[in-house]
Structure 1
């Protein structure tokens, strides 16, 4: 009996012994859990901020955090939202919310309300924790919080021609009468309902304020009532003021007992001096910056390979190196006897040389052979690592080293068969 048969018999004995061990040894097969045990991965996909209820001193911001989930169930996850004042750096408020278990490859939304003072700008920081460990965080900046109007001060009525782009003043006046060192001014303005519903009952208070001393010369309140949607009202009032002075004409819009708007123009009654209202009305709105991911998720998950279990195995770089060495030696490796004789006998008649087409075909075949050998090595490597992965998956932990040793011994015996056969052929 030759060596190859002895080694093949050893392989067969190992395979049979392994199968019998799996069947006969209690607990050799690992118990597979029905739950998804894959590591979960969470990251912040986006954070959106919208204004909520607004009071006189505070503003409520609704912060929606969208979490992108991959892998197994994510349990014990909490989301912390913190508002930090941009100028002082002090923490204004903090809220934390527990997130229900997230399963499946999907996005989960977590909405939290935070209340901040209606002043300055803020940085909204979002932090995600899993099992008490920080895994993701990001920030957004919010500016113009003070421009948010409280619910009691909201109205759809606005002064016309107050955007600074029109040549018309928001408050107009004409001289109705001038006698006894006093001038009577007819003062008017235009109010437009920019909403879709009729407005509340409103009124306008017109005030003539002496420009140099800022003394109120006269004041009149004019009821306006309700203004239909998309309509404009033009309240008018008469103000009697002393001659020879310049005045600021102020129009203040009231809803119930709350000031909801104002406008100003100038009345020049002093011929030696001209007064103008050098004010630029710039509308300030709530502004939210783009979401900034402060750092990549601090997850301890890593990409694992089939050789992570510490088992020996061939590597792809080693196989590629061997192929490159063989490929370099292959084209010039087989010298025919005719070529050898032609080199040692220069005076003989020249031998017939292969045609160029035959050389091209030979190199193509050799290149194909190299490619196929390379693919075979990759397939063999993948098969080896897959078998190790199967052992790690289905064999219990306490018996896993024994089965790994049996498999590696079988591979060693199979390699011995190949080595024995090659050596015998060479001899």
Structure 2
């Protein structure tokens, strides 16, 4: 057998083996068009909730939905979101996203949002519809919405919180006959990624027993580099001999960002601690007014009590001295009569 005959015989054997395999396995070769004829399926692959814009009383919750599609085109797809109060079960907000026809194999991301109040918790229900028929659904629960910081109050600068280094440090810069001058140093930290903008530091020196504001000051906190701590120092004056709370607050365009408290103990017989309730003691308002009242200068107003320090008055009534004198005269007369 020559070489040509051998090659023809081998080729015939290969063709015969292929034909046998096709007969034995009829599904080995599929028509590509059969795949598109399969009914389309669509369902929820994943739902992710993230905070959006946070306002004073309400917040927006952004929902990212991954739709999984298989088969032929699914027409008229919509995604409905509902926010239901976790305690009352009442509907808080509802929104529907029109997706349209979905023909791409794999996953498609659809964005939606709900507006809720910044309190309590919520149950978020997501449902996928295809041409008005429910195809898939999922429930997500969220809580602690009140902990979200409003956008207008979102600032990287806040008061430093150290275990040893004081956030508010108070020292006596000077004293006069009745007034003490206090030097107050406040530490602030930039916990953001970029340098901060200028904000205001406001201080109130509050008498501990009466809550009367003895003095106040406002300083500008300049730009602070990321991760750095800056110290702002100012002076306050107040009457000596009292204890004070030093209330400090950070404001950005009149929006309260952060607050803290320190103390100044100028009363040698009583001490106070920040954020601690103290007992009520007497307090003289004149110590914090510019001028004393007429009653204070005159020694106080008459409270209606009798004046026991002055015994010689025109309308004084007889006391025990008159009775003793009469008894003495009677005793002398009896003694004279016995002698006679």
TM-score, normalising length from structure 2? 0.65
Counterpart for residue 52 of structure 1: 52
Distance 2:42 2:268 in 1: 73
Deviations 1:39-98 (A, max 9, x none): 333332211112222333322221011122233322222111111222332221100012
Deviations 1:321-350 (A, max 9, x none): xxxxxxxxxxxxxxxxxxxxxxxxxxxxxx
Distance 2:189 2:239 in 1: 32
- Cα displacement (A) at 1:266: 2.4
Q: For the aligned residues, what is the CA RMSD?
A: 2.5
Verify: 1:62 aligned to 2:62, yes or no. yes
After superposition, where does 1:262-411 map in structure 2 within 5 Å? 262-278=259-275
Verify: 1:203 aligned to 2:195, yes or no. no
- Cα displacement (A) at 1:99: 1.7
- Cα displacement (A) at 1:250: 1.4
Verify: 1:194 aligned to 2:191, yes or no. yes
- Cα displacement (A) at 1:126: 0.9
SS of match in other structure, 1:76: strand
Distance 1:143 1:211, change over 3 A: farther
Distance 1:175 1:61 in 2: 50
Verify: 1:185 aligned to 2:182, yes or no. yes
Counterpart for residue 145 of structure 1: 145
Deviations 1:159-218 (A, max 9, x none): 1126xxx13332111112233333221111112223333221212111112223322221
Higher relative contact order (CA 8 A, sep 6+): 1
Verify: 1:37 aligned to 2:34, yes or no. no
Counterpart for residue 120 of structure 1: 120
- Cα displacement (A) at 1:135: 2.6
Distance 1:63 1:188, change over 3 A: same
Deviations 1:138-157 (A, max 9, x none): 22222232232333322111
| Structure richer in strand, relative to its length | 2
TM-score, normalising length from structure 1? 0.53
Deviations 1:383-408 (A, max 9, x none): xxxxxxxxxxxxxxxxxxxxxxxxxx
Distance 2:49 2:38 in 1: 33
Distance 1:216 1:139 in 2: 52
SS of match in other structure, 2:146: helix
Count of equivalent residues: 245
Distance 2:180 2:87 in 1: 50
- Cα displacement (A) at 1:34: 7.8
SS of match in other structure, 1:149: coil
Counterpart for residue 84 of structure 2: 84
Deviations 1:285-321 (A, max 9, x none): xxxxxxxxxxxxxxxxxxxxxxxxxxxxxxxxxxxxx
Distance 1:151 1:104, change over 3 A: closer
Which shows bigger deviation, 236-245 or 222-231?
A: 222-231
**Matched-pair contact (CA < 8 Å) for 2:170–2:263:** no
**Matched-pair contact (CA < 8 Å) for 2:174–2:182:** yes
Counterpart for residue 110 of structure 2: 110
Distance 1:135 1:274 in 2: 69
Distance 1:224 1:97 in 2: 46
Counterpart for residue 311 of structure 2: none
Counterpart for residue 235 of structure 1: 232
Counterpart for residue 134 of structure 2: 134
Distance 1:87 1:275, change over 3 A: farther
Unaligned runs of 5+ in 2: 1-32, 277-340
| Structure richer in helix, relative to its length | 1
**Matched-pair contact (CA < 8 Å) for 1:171–1:250:** no
Distance 2:34 2:43 in 1: 26
Distance 1:108 1:185 in 2: 64
Distance 2:156 2:211 in 1: 30
